[in-house]
Amino acid sequence: MASAEQVAEEAERREIRDRWLLSAPALIIIFLAATGPLLIVVIYSFLTPGPYGGVVWKFSTDGWLSVLMQRDIFDDTLAFADAHLSIFWRSAKLSFLTTILTLLFGFPTAYFIATRPARQRDIWLFLITIPFWTNLLIRTFAIQEVIRNEGLVNTVLIKLGIISQPIQMMFTDFALMVGMTYVYLPLMVLPLYASMEKIDFRLVEAGYDLYANRFQVLRRVIIPLVKPGIIAGSILVFIPALGAYVTPRVLGGSKNMMLGSLIELQFGQGRNWPLGSALSLSLMAIVMVALLFYVRSVGRRDGAHG
């Protein structure tokens, strides 16, 4: 006759088995929908591009080599792919500047919301999330109507007599920064607010009581307390900005291409699927580095606070 301990162990094993069986359909879907396409992209990056798109099932590392290098069409020598390096640099630079701008605008916005009475905070948060209700393409076209030559900004400046002819803002890096800052600003505000809401503002009052000025209170009290929100918001903005496609395509044009547009070009007009796959995986690697930085930063913070 089985003991009570054996019966309990059998029941536990049965429960674990049932859990795996119940979660199996979801795990299969996740594997097929996420891991499967990623595996295809990895395989394509090591194949030969087809003459009219697609791939030829012949092993080649030219896709990865072409990410940073290019062959001379006459003597087959290798040189740095200046166009790709320029796009990589522009993407990283604009993503970083977008992160800085969203932080500069998002920090006071989140602080304002966090210091409102409890009943008003929900209203302000509701207003912050309203842009998410609108399609990204529509929001990008809205920004286009503001900064184009016949748009709101140039029309007002001409009416006021400040300028005599429109300022060219469209299809510039400035347009990309404005558009991406507008699009990703809520992703910075929400994590910052989540951190600021937990602040005991008596610490801020204590800083003033100890004769600290506003800048000192901000630097020595508020910023250290909301550092997790700053890091989380920066990651949430930097990662999608790095791979942005719609906003750079509409506001930047063909002369201000970013990584997302370059990848689309290789799969479309360029008909170089291995290179497009290699660029996609390179972008994913950059994103993973950013995520690892975030995880390590959070881990150090948690370890410092026990």
Taking only the tens place, the pLDDT of each residue in 251-295 is: 987 778 899 989 999 998 888 999 999 999 998 888 888 788 777
Q: Please tell me whether the overall predicted TM-score, pTM, comes out greater than 0.85 for this model.
A: no
Cα 22–chain centre separation: 34
Q: Which domain holds residue 20?
A: 1-38
Task: Decide: 107 and 229 in contact? Cβ < 8 Å.
Answer: no
**What pLDDT does 269 receive?**
86
**What pLDDT does 305 receive?**
53
* Closest by CA position to 240, among listed 287, 172, 280: 287
**What pLDDT does 132 receive?**
84
**Residue 24: exposed, middle, or buried by beta-carbon count in 10 A (0-12, 13-18, 19+)?**
exposed
70 domain-assigned = no
Same domain, 28 and 148: no
Q: Is 4 left (phi over 0), alpha (psi -120 to 50) or beta?
A: alpha
56 domain-assigned = no
- CA gap 242, 286 in Å, rounded: 9
Residues 6+ apart with CB under 8 A from 135: none
- CA gap 139, 208 in Å, rounded: 42
Number of structural domains in the chain? 2
Amino acid at 283: L
3 to each of 13, 15, 17, 23, 177, how far by Cα in Å? 16, 18, 21, 31, 70
The tens-digit pLDDT sequence of the chain (306 residues) is 457 777 778 888 888 888 888 888 888 888 888 788 889 999 999 999 988 888 999 999 999 999 988 877 777 788 888 888 899 999 999 999 999 999 999 999 999 999 888 888 989 999 998 888 888 889 999 999 999 999 999 999 999 999 889 999 998 899 999 999 999 999 999 999 999 998 888 888 888 888 888 888 888 889 998 988 998 899 999 999 998 999 998 998 777 889 998 999 999 888 899 999 999 999 888 888 878 877 776 666 555 554
Same domain, 100 and 22: no
296 domain-assigned = yes
Same domain, 188 and 252: yes
Same domain, 34 and 88: no
Same domain, 288 and 169: yes
54 domain-assigned = no
288 domain-assigned = yes
201 domain-assigned = yes
207 domain-assigned = yes
